[in-house]
């Protein structure tokens, strides 16, 4: 029985990695229809594996499904971290904090909608996210007129603007909610908003808003902190994780969210995450990530990692690109958090403790800094191998198994750092994630150079 289980686990790991390889290969195909067909088939294979049974056991049972879902969220979070750390060279330990922020924000919205039958949280978050985004973009445009602007002044202005947006959002959101809420109907006669379709839409909105919320927080936090230099940035982001975790533990006392129940953990989150949503968001993250990396923005981000001084000399806005990478990475973390919260249905601050926050870092380092394929493969391999296989193996040892796992991680990390610092996969990229082959352009029209030249002018800090 044990041997069979082990063999099955290894087969599953290989199969999932093969599935990933196939998905990425087919997405690189030139024909759009082949791409779409391939994605649908990749989705379908897993969906069928959930329901297809051999004997009395599903090919992928609930435990495997859990591992798969968590591997996908881990992949999102770790891809974000790889963008920040691997591609942009900013050593961040705050990724887990943004993950938790996204998880709690999304969970709170659907919790209020599903259990308390009120849309106030949704509207407050939605309006707040949109308004704060507009304020930040507008301020950025306005402050673009100045050079040598002190970071602290810019931060103060953004902070005041975002706080004002939040205040307006709370006021307006509750106002709109009081108008809309009667549509929920009563228990006996459910209204329009009580339907399952509405719940799915709210879930989608909640996850996206949570992602953007995390991104906006990361903008406000990153603006002053990214100017500190990489070591200090690491400590400051670690501090961010710790502060976020402290706020989670005290969410019902310091923060006015009694539903989050502080350190006892938030229960009763509707479990809305299905394979469809996980797959869709993972695909979204992969596509955004790949397109960012292989664009001019991505090259600017890479150049900041290689040499800040040289990048600045080439006219690249170093501070702006650091901030951009940090914000996009946090967006991914927030999305992953929203997905995770609705899969697990229970959020406790312990999940987001800063010790667990080293997990995405370990995944990124194992997969290889600056390798998207490596991060994806490491996320899946990590979940299935360490969480699945190793947990069962170590379970034979008795109650100390979880501690042993955490003894083995750092040893593996140390050995990796000493023996293969570029990560297991180095810089290999699979299929879709490889740099696209660009056809040589026709000879440029000399007058058409005017536009790109103007847009290179340094942007706002």
Partner 1 sequence: MQQASAEQPIAVLSADALSVAPRQSGAGLAWIGRGFLLALAALVVFILARNLLDNPRLFAQIVISGLQLGFVYALIALGYTMVYGIVRLINFAHGDVFMVGSFVSFFAVSRFSLHTWPAVAFPGISPDLSTLIGAVSVIVLSMIVCAALAVVIERVAYKPLRNAPRITALITAIGVSFFLEFFGALNFVFSPRFIPYQRPFDVYAYWIGAQGIGMVTPQTPAPDGSITFSSIFVIIVVASILMQILLQWLVKRTKIGKAMRASAVDKPTTRLMGVNVDRVISFTFAVGAAFAGLAGVLFAIAYPSIHTQLGILPGLKAFVAAVLGGIGSIPGALVGALIMGQAEALTAGYISTPMRDAVAFTILIIVLLVRPTGIFGEPEREKA
Residue 451 in contact with partner 1, rule: CB under 8 A: yes
Residue 407 in contact with partner 1, rule: CB under 8 A: yes
Residue 393 in contact with partner 1, rule: CB under 8 A: no
Note every long-range contact of 82-85, with CB atoms under 8 Å and residues 24 or more positions apart, other chains counting: 82/329, 82/364, 82/367, 82/369, 82/370, 82/371, 82/372, 82/375, 83/289, 83/292, 83/293, 83/301, 83/325, 83/328, 83/329, 83/332, 84/325, 84/326, 84/329, 85/361, 85/364, 85/369
- Give the residue from 359, 381, 275, 378 showing the smallest Cα distance to 10: 381
Selected binder of partner 1 within 243, 280, 283, 424 (CB under 8 A): 243
Residue 441 in contact with partner 1, rule: CB under 8 A: no
Element (H, E) at 347: strand 346-347
Selected binder of partner 1 within 138, 417, 420, 436 (CB under 8 A): 417
Selected binder of partner 1 within 228, 284, 292, 424 (CB under 8 A): 228
Cβ(94)–Cβ(237) below 8 Å: yes
Residue 426 in contact with partner 1, rule: CB under 8 A: no
For 261, other C-beta atoms within 10 Å of its C-beta total 16
Selected binder of partner 1 within 49, 83, 249, 376 (CB under 8 A): 249
User: Number of residues in contact with partner 1, rule: CB under 8 A?
Assistant: 63
Residue 101 in contact with partner 1, rule: CB under 8 A: no
Per-position x/- string for 43-72, each x denoting binding to partner 1 as judged by CB under 8 A, each - no binding: ------------------------------
Selected binder of partner 1 within 414, 427, 435, 436 (CB under 8 A): 414
**Where in 73-92 is the site for partner 1 (CB under 8 A)?**
89, 91
CB nearer to partner 1: give 81 or 339.
Answer: 81
CB nearer to partner 1: give 84 or 278.
Answer: 84
Residue 439 in contact with partner 1, rule: CB under 8 A: no
Residue 424 in contact with partner 1, rule: CB under 8 A: no
Cβ(212)–Cβ(331) below 8 Å: yes
Cβ(191)–Cβ(181) below 8 Å: no
Residue 310 in contact with partner 1, rule: CB under 8 A: no
- Give the residue from 102, 108, 137, 136 showing the smallest Cα distance to 124: 108
**φ and ψ at residue 317, rounded to 5 degrees:** -75, 95
Q: How far, in Å, are 12, 15, 38, 44, 149 from residue 19 at the CA level?
A: 10, 6, 11, 11, 49
What is the Cα–Cα distance from 87 to 74, expressed in whole angstroms? 18
Selected binder of partner 1 within 168, 392, 409, 424 (CB under 8 A): 409
Smallest distance from the beta carbon of 105 to partner 1, in angstroms? 19
Selected binder of partner 1 within 365, 389, 425, 433 (CB under 8 A): 365
Residues 6+ apart with CB under 8 A from 168: 127, 131
What is the Cα–Cα distance from 365 to 379, expressed in whole angstroms? 11
Cβ(374)–Cβ(424) below 8 Å: yes
Selected binder of partner 1 within 1, 32, 56, 145 (CB under 8 A): 145
Selected binder of partner 1 within 155, 274, 292, 390 (CB under 8 A): 155
Residue 246 in contact with partner 1, rule: CB under 8 A: yes
CB nearer to partner 1: give 69 or 358.
Answer: 358
Instruction: Using DSSP, state whether 358 is helix, strand or coil.
Output: helix
Positions touching partner 1 (CB under 8 A) are 89, 91, 143-157, 159, 224-225, 227-232, 234-236, 238-240, 242-243, 246, 249-250, 253-254, 355, 358, 361, 365, 400, 403-404, 406-407, 409-411, 413-414, 417-418, 421, 445, 447-448, 450-451, 454, 457
């Amino acid at each position: 029985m044990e041997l069979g289980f082990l063999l099955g686990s290894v087969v599953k790991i290989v199969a999932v990695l093969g599935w990933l390889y196939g998905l990425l290969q087919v997405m690189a195909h030139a024909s759009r229809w082949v791409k779409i067909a391939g994605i649908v088939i990749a989705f379908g294979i897993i969906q069928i594996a959930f329901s297809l049974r051999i004997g009395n056991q599903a090919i992928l049972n609930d435990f495997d499904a859990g591992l798969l879902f968590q591997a996908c969220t881990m992949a999102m979070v770790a891809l974000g971290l790889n963008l920040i750390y691997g591609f942009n060279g900013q050593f961040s330990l705050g990724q887990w904090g943004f993950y938790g922020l996204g998880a709690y924000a999304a969970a709170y919205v659907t919790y209020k909608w599903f259990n308390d039958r009120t849309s106030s949280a949704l509207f407050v978050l939605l309006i707040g996210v949109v308004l704060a985004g507009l304020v930040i973009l507008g301020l950025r445009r306005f402050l673009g007129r100045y050079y040598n602007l002190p970071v602290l002044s810019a931060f103060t202005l953004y902070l005041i603007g975002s706080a004002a947006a939040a205040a307006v959002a709370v006021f307006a959101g509750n106002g709109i909610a009081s108008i809309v809420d009667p549509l929920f109907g009563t228990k006996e006669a459910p209204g329009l908003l009580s339907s399952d379709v509405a719940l799915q839409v709210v879930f989608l909105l909640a996850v996206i808003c949570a992602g953007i919320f995390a991104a906006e927080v990361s903008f406000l936090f990153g603006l002053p902190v990214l100017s500190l230099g990489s070591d200090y940035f690491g400590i400051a982001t670690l501090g961010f994780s710790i502060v976020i975790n402290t706020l989670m533990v005290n969410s019902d006392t310091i923060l006015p969210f009694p539903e989050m129940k502080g350190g006892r953990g938030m229960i009763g989150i509707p479990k809305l995450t299905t394979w469809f949503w996980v797959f869709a968001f993972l695909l979204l993250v992969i596509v955004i990530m790949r397109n960012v990396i292989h664009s001019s923005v991505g090259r600017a981000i890479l150049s900041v990692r290689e040499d800040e001084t040289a990048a600045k000399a080439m006219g690249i806005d170093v501070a702006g690109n650091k901030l951009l990478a940090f914000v996009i990475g946090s967006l991914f973390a927030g999305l992953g958090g929203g997905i995770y919260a609705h899969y697990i249905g229970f959020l406790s601050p312990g999940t987001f403790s800063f010790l667990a926050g080293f997990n995405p870092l370990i995944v990124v380092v194992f997969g290889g800094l600056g390798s998207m394929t490596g991060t994806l493969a490491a996320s899946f391999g990590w979940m299935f191998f360490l969480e699945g296989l190793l947990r069962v193996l170590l379970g034979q040892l008795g109650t100390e198994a979880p501690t042993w796992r955490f003894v083995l991680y750092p040893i593996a990390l140390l050995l990796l750092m000493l023996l293969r610092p570029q990560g297991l996969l180095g810089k290999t990229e699979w299929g879709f994630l490889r740099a696209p082959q660009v056809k040589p352009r026709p000879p440029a029209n000399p007058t058409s150079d005017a536009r790109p030249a103007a847009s290179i002018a340094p942007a706002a800090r």
